[in-house]
A and B are shown apart, each in its own frame.
Chain A
Amino acid sequence: MIPFLDIPVQALFGQLLLGLINGSFYALLSLGLAIIFGLLNIINFTHGAQYMLGAFVAWMLLNYLGIGYWWALLLVPIIVGASGVVIERLLISRLYKLDHIYGLLLTFGIALIMQGLLRNEYGASGMPYAIPPELAGGQRLGFMFLPNYRAWVIVASVSVCLGTWLLIECTRLGAYLRAATENPALTQAFGINVPLLVTLTYGFGVGLAALAGVLAAPIYSVNPNMGADIIIVVFAVVVIGGMGSILGAIVSGFALGLIEGLTKVFYPEASTTVIFVIMAIVLLVKPAGLFGRTA
């Protein structure tokens, strides 16, 4: 074993892998946030609450209807995404021509309402949600014990991120989306229903958050506050990647997971602050983020 600053290299490898797994949550969440920001120009502060809602709806499906994890994986993004569509049509759509700050305030208010209501109903300390039996247990990799569920999280997240990226970059629908991001008026003039596209995009972004929530339910505590802390970190990830950049969100999501993982080994107290240090440095050196275009 070659020690590296007192930490055996193998242990370090394990820590990096864990960082990557956490990064997959960041990537999923920041991907949704970035897509929404790109097209709607709204900083969706409800994103954290929608992630939390994803976990809660999965719990409700299981406990009230007996619907298990695998169906939840499919149903929850649709249900929560649909609720997102309603919110977009009723509320957010009134703000498109205004400054970011109003969208932020509105979505923050919605997040508070969601958190408050769920807290009244279910309390603050959380709900149990078991790992599906198919994914219980784990593999001994020599340098660490990798639970099967974590491996699944990383596979699921990478494929969803990749799929979304391909959808946006390589399909006709994606082309419309990019066109509408670039110039909504002109895209509309070409006969594309931009408002519909905007609504569906918001629903899709919210669905991604809900999916992340379902993935998180078996390993993180399912409680009404679970999204309140993560939103600001995810927001930072999006900024580091470059606001609205899809690839940037995905790459910096994983990269920051890795960096956070390393911090947890060398200076654990700072592991929640390191993202902000990096954000400050990135913004000062590369103003529009790593993958953003300079305004």
Chain B
Amino acid sequence: MKIVSACAIAAFVFCATAPVSAQEKTLKIGVLNDQSGLYADMGGLGSIAAAKLAVEDSGLLAKGWKIDVLGADHQNKPDVASNIARRWFDIDGVDVVTDVTNSAVALAIAQLAREKNKVELVSGAATSELTGKACSPNTIHWTHDTWALANGTGKAIVQTGGDTWFFLTADYAFGHALERDTEAVVLKSGGKVLGKVLTPLNTADFSSFLLQAQSSGAKIVGLANSGVDTSNSLKQAAEFGIVESGQKLAGLLVYITDVHAAGLPIAQGLILESAFYWDLNDGTRAFSERFSKAMDGRKPTMVQAGVYSSVIHYLKAVEALGNSKDGAAVVAEMKSMPTEDIAMGEGTIRIDGRKIHDMYLLEVKKPSESKGPWDYYTLRTTIPAAEAFRPLDQGGCSLAVN
């Protein structure tokens, strides 16, 4: 019986993964993210659609390339993610893994990609470790990171008068990082932090914490959390009249899907930073239009736009090199040329693997200002690429030293 089941598994594995001959002009892109859990909406199937659009737009198919896009749900389990990625690299001949939501997963895959000399293009994870101590010649961190979000939001808000802060911090490494970096920039810009409270992840009720924020008298309530935690705190902040009583909310990691979930009556007035908004210019609108067609009318998040942008640039580098087999060489090639695409405009990639581009400080519209679903933001400031990201020498990346 054991033999039977083992054979069944073996047969299953063989069918699922026919060996790939290492032909040139073929390549495989693996989109590895959360498709069923907390982060399914900001990445998920939309990231696969974005990667497919990038393949279409690269023009490589017409030049005789054969490009496959695979997708898998890592269920937010680092071991499942690691298993899938290893199988992709070892058996399926996948050349590049993209999106990689969840910081534990992104860090694990970074190490794996380096070991196997493949490429990792991170869009969905926020930890700035990826271009800090954990930086790698095989990883590029594309869209955002905790430092950029904290710094841009913090600085811009203090400059416009929001100089006293109270933090609701998710009691998790990313929450701590967001809070630490924001606090640093608030203090540096001459602001003050009046208090903070650590909230356990997936807390349903934030009213108690909001009350503490309210009684602190801070002008700005910084939400150093993400996903459902953010939409819960927004919902309850509206209920408790936080904004009405004169305080402002600043979301440190908010995706457009979170605003969509909360609804404008609740999210209005929220200030947030993003690497992408669909209604910025003709390029973003054109990209989003096509994305919407593939995804039931949803607009892309910055993570999905980042997947598109990173895959486009990756394919350019592969075309220049003629093949995709040496991951570190492809990444080096990617770093050597400037990036340009319709979704995220122009940019560059730094030696530590940080993609550098403009970031946008946005404010959520009032319901009366919005023309319809997904018309959610007004642009307040553009944070120029040069200021948006952590300076090279502060990350502690070993690649940056030489």
Direct contact of A and B (CB under 8 A): yes
- Which residues from chain A sit less than 8 Å from chain B, CB to CB? 11, 14-15, 18-19, 21-22, 116, 119, 123-128, 130-131, 138, 144-145, 147, 149-150, 216, 218-221, 223, 225-226, 229-230, 261, 264-265, 268-273
**Could you tell me the distance between the alpha carbons of A22 and B205 in the complex, rounded to whole angstroms?**
8
13 interchain pairs, CB-CB under 8 A: A19-B208, A124-B36, A124-B39, A126-B228, A127-B261, A130-B265, A147-B240, A219-B235, A220-B232, A226-B204, A270-B200, A271-B199, A271-B200
Distance in Å: Cβ of A46 to nearest Cβ of chain B? 18
Minimal Cβ-Cβ distance residue in B for A230: B204
Given A125-B260, A225-B37: A220 and B241 within 8 A (CB)?
no
Stretch at the interface among B152-160, B209-217, B327-335: B209-217
B83 within 8 A of A: no
B375 within 8 A of A: no
Contact B261 A145 (CB under 8 A): no
7 shortest A-B CB distances, which residue pairs? A128-B263, A126-B261, A264-B208, A125-B41, A124-B40, A272-B200, A125-B261
**Could you tell me the distance between the alpha carbons of A58 and B317 in the complex, rounded to whole angstroms?**
51
B8 within 8 A of A: no
Minimal Cβ-Cβ distance residue in B for A126: B261
Minimal Cβ-Cβ distance residue in B for A220: B204
Kindly identify, within residues 235 to 253 of chain B, every residue whose CB is under 8 Å from any CB belonging to chain A: 235-236, 239-241, 245
Question: Which residue of the partner chain, among B38, B44, B239, contacts A131 with CB atoms under 8 Å?
Answer: B239
- Most chain B CB within 10 A, of A130, A150, A268, is at A268
Which residues does chain A contribute within 8 Å of B239, judged by CB atoms? 131, 138, 147, 149-150, 218-219
Contact A221 B228 (CB under 8 A): yes
Which residues does chain B contribute within 8 Å of A265, judged by CB atoms? 208, 212
Given A125-B258, A147-B239: A225 and B265 within 8 A (CB)?
no
Given A124-B38, A221-B261, A268-B198: A144 and B228 within 8 A (CB)?
no
**Could you tell me the distance between the alpha carbons of A220 and B232 in the complex, rounded to whole angstroms?**
6
User: For chains A and B in complex, what number of residue pairs have CB atoms within 8 angstroms?
Assistant: 116
Distance in Å: Cβ of B260 to nearest Cβ of chain A? 7
Given A125-B227, A125-B231, A127-B261: A219 and B236 within 8 A (CB)?
yes
Main secondary structure of the interface of A (DSSP, over half): helix
**Could you tell me the distance between the alpha carbons of A116 and B38 in the complex, rounded to whole angstroms?**
12
Distance in Å: Cβ of B268 to nearest Cβ of chain A? 12
**Could you tell me the distance between the alpha carbons of A225 and B261 in the complex, rounded to whole angstroms?**
14
B42 within 8 A of A: yes
Contact B228 A268 (CB under 8 A): no
B286 within 8 A of A: no
**Could you tell me the distance between the alpha carbons of A271 and B204 in the complex, rounded to whole angstroms?**
11
